[in-house]
Amino acid sequence: MTEPVPIMSVPREASTGRTVAGRVFALLNAFSQERPALRLIELAAVTGMPVSTVHRIATELVELGALKKERDGVYRIGLRLWELGALCPAPRTLRDVSLPFMQDLYEATAENVHLAVLDGDEVLYVERVWGRRSVDVVSRVGGRSPLHATGVGKVLLAHASRELQESVLAAGLKRYTPHTIVMPGILMRSLQEVRATGIARCAEELSLGTVSVAAPIFGPDRRVVAALSVVSHTVTHTRALTAVEPALRLATLSISRELANGYDGIGTADVTPIRPATR
């Protein structure tokens, strides 16, 4: 009779080639902002593991509090993972530095306040402050938007390298609304104005019913590392939104001054600071 093999000597499951830890993390990584709740069959489909394996792992994770199983059979991330995540040392990140000033800006305007960085050729939103009086927007933390059709995107693109600017133009400027700028020449003149004034304005270019103003945030080396914007409803008169600009400038100046004292990155995915455009 063959003796049982100690579990430590069998680190991988033959059917998947994954370690035990790898299978557990594959299951946990199946959850995302787009997929916050999944059924057993969906977990199996996303992870590529057999349903029996997924059921066994999920059951144990539920017992440990890492997952929560609803009455209808849907699984969600459990509170125990949140508790463990809270133990991670909190570095002085862009989000940490910016959030108090974003909250002040919201209190002064009662409008959506967005913090965004450049990730590849897209806008990546890393923080947002809003309230009941704020207009509904399509953007969310962790979400992405095009550079040419948003206020923060225009700020980031205006201060990006010439290579990135030309790449965005070459890829074509998608029209999202009748107000989206899709002519390369007009967009480039708009970016030049952003660099000259330090403010980007965007009216119903990504979605109808919203307007925004945005300004750059500079890192310790005076390179643009992010953009901050205030987003309002189009019923807010343009003059009223213009009145927000001094408060927006003050917030970005304050954040830039704090970042000059040093910080440990964006506070999300590793995003390289924007190289200044070659003029």
Over residues 184-197, mean pLDDT? 95
Q: How far is CA 52 from CA 44, 48, 55, in A?
A: 9, 12, 5
- Give which of 114, 152, 112, 115 is closest to 135, Cα–Cα: 112
On the question of pLDDT at 63 being above 50, the answer is: yes
| 274: pLDDT strictly greater than 80 | no
Q: Spell out the domain ranges in the chain.
A: 7-85, 94-259
Domain 94-259 annotated CATH 3.30.1360.10: no
Q: Does residue 197 have a pLDDT over 60?
A: yes
pLDDT of 233 reads: 77
Q: pLDDT band for position 131 (50/70/90)?
A: low
Region 6-15: mean pLDDT is 38
What is the tens place of the pLDDT at every residue in 218-265?
988 889 999 999 988 776 655 567 788 999 999 999 999 998 876 655
DSSP state of 277: P
Q: What is the dihedral of CA 164, 169, 170, 174, to 10 degrees?
A: 120
Do 156 and 227 form a contact (C-beta atoms < 8 A)?
yes
For the domain bounded by 7-85, which CATH number is listed?
Answer: 1.10.10.10
Across the range 161-170, mean pLDDT stands at: 94
CA 59 to chain centre: 32
DSSP secondary structure string for all residues of 246-273: HHHHHHHHHHHHHHTT-----SSS--PP
Q: If pLDDT is split at 50, 70 and 90, which confidence band does 211 have?
A: confident
Average pLDDT of 13-26?
75
Query: Quick one: which H or E segment has residue 152?
Result: helix 151-158
Residue 192 — very low, low, confident or very high, per pLDDT cuts 50/70/90?
Answer: very high
pTM given for the model: 0.64
